[in-house]
Each structure stands twice: as C-alpha cells, then as structure tokens.
Amino acid sequence: MAHLVLASSSPRRRELLAQLGLQFDIFSPDIDESTIASESASAYVERLARAKAEAVQLCYPESIIVAADTSLGVDGLILGKPESKQHAFEMWQQISGRKHDVFSGVCVRTKTQIYSIVVRTQVEFQTLTVQDMESYWATGEPIGKAGAYAIQGIAARYIPRIEGSYSNVVGLPLHETVQLLQTVKALN
C-alpha cells in the first residue's frame, strides 16, 4: 500500500483509522472552516474534507490522503464546536429531547484521484435539564467536539438510540472510509 496520511489532528479519527490496522502519518492542515451562507451541513462537511485533503496533498504529493470533517445539522443550522459554555448550552437546547443529524464528509485523495462521500447518522438526545448541562460541561468533554458532545464518552448517557453509523458520530465512518480507500486501490 502507498504511504497514507490522515489529514486531522483529532485523536478520535486517529483511533478509528488505527482500528482498521492501517499504518499512517498525521498532518493537520490549517484551512478556513467558515460556513458559506445557506450552506447545508452536508455540503459543509464535504467541502471541508475536500479542502483538508487538497491542502495535505500539496505537502505529500505521492501519498494517499484521508480527510474528514464532522458537524451536526438541526433545523437547517450547522452545529460545530462550541465557542463557549453559553454556546454549548444553546446547542444542547436545540438538540434536547429530539433527533438531529450528524454528518461526516470523508475525502480520499491521491495526486490523480479524488473521491468523497457524506455519511449521515440520526442521533436521538434525551431531554436535558439545566443540571444535566452544567454537570456535562464541568467534565470538560464537550470542548472541541461537534455539537458539544462525545457519543463515545460521558454523553452516551443522554443518547437512547442512533440510526446509522456509530463511527460516523465519533468522527470517521469506517465502512465508507474503507470503501473509498478500496476505490483508490489503497486496500485489497
């Protein structure tokens, strides 16, 4: 297999990709993650995954690049990482007691091929009390997480069910990532 580079500094993505038994290096690109007016969460994550892959391909032109981005979509809004405690509380109020979508865009790129996909998983959140939110914020887990929660951590207590890929909610849909790697002949 050709040299593989994960275009992410996310420890969760690193752990997920390692689950596949792959050897890879990590290079986290610095790209503009601003949203575009009227952009859907699905379009947003795919655009960012492609931009990350492109940026890393410039540094590793002979490598296979795997890039991803994950965000939540609810009521036509994109919920990224919380900027503050208040911002996290606002996000939790939007998803409390209802379902929301988690979208991950994945891009696998070589110097001659670019493939990307968006994976959607529906997550149901229980109704959160102010005490639930205060307690969860105090753990520090919500910081740096899309939607201000980590399904693989303490937040699992608030999630009665999901429909779709669990690894997608963590940050890298493994089945689909393998399919893209097979498409570029990185895996047999």
Which residues are part of the catalytic machinery? 69
Residues 61 and 112: beta-carbon distance below 8 Å: no
How far apart CA 40 and CA 35 sit, in angstroms, is 9
- The burial of 64, by beta-carbon neighbours within 10 Å (0-12 exposed, 13-18 middle, 19 or more buried), is given as buried
Length of the chain, in residues:
188
Amino acid in position 63: S
- Angle, alpha carbons 86-90-94 (nearest 5°): 165
112 contacts: CB under 8 Å, gap ≥ 6: none
Count CB-CB contacts under 10 A for residue 39: 13
| Phi, psi dihedral angles at 125 (to 5 degrees) | -110, 140
